[in-house]
């Protein structure tokens, strides 16, 4: 009888310890995932701030592009654009709409 009582107590203690360990591990994983999500959100926020300020300032110093994606440098702005326009591919007149700074 004593052996059965000791066996039941040992089994109950082992089950309780296993349940506690599983709960602690699950809580730890949830905390790690939550912290990782906050860190990723912070990194995305910092990236957005940098891209809007620093990259915006850099873009403002770069040559601008017209709607046809033809980059026009400020040093070349006084040269006429001799490519055909969108409306007529047979046009030989220079397109000067996109050459001013």
The pLDDT tens digits of the residues spanning 18-43 come to 999 999 999 999 999 999 999 999 99
* 65 domain residue, yes or no: yes
The count of domains in the chain is 1
CA distances from 57 to 7, 28, 45, 64 (A): 74, 43, 18, 13
* 29 domain residue, yes or no: no
74 pLDDT higher than 50:
no
pLDDT band (50, 70, 90) for residue 71 = low
* 53 domain residue, yes or no: yes
* 57 domain residue, yes or no: yes
86 near 98, Cβ under 8 Å?
no
* 25 domain residue, yes or no: no
Residue 54: give the domain boundaries. 37-76
Neighbours of 77 (CB within 10 A): 13
Question: What is the C-alpha separation between 49 and 28, in angstroms, rounded?
Answer: 32
* 67 domain residue, yes or no: yes
6 pLDDT higher than 60:
yes
């Amino acid at each position: 009888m004593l052996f059965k009582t000791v066996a039941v107590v040992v089994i109950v203690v082992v089950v309780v310890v296993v349940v506690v360990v599983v709960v602690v591990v699950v809580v730890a994983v949830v905390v790690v995932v939550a912290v990782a999500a906050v860190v990723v959100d912070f990194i995305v926020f910092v990236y957005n701030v940098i891209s809007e300020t620093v990259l915006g300032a850099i873009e403002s110093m770069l040559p601008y592009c017209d709607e046809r994606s033809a980059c026009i440098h400020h040093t070349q702005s006084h040269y006429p654009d001799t490519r055909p326009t969108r409306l007529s591919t047979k046009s030989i007149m220079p397109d000067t709409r996109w050459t001013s700074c």
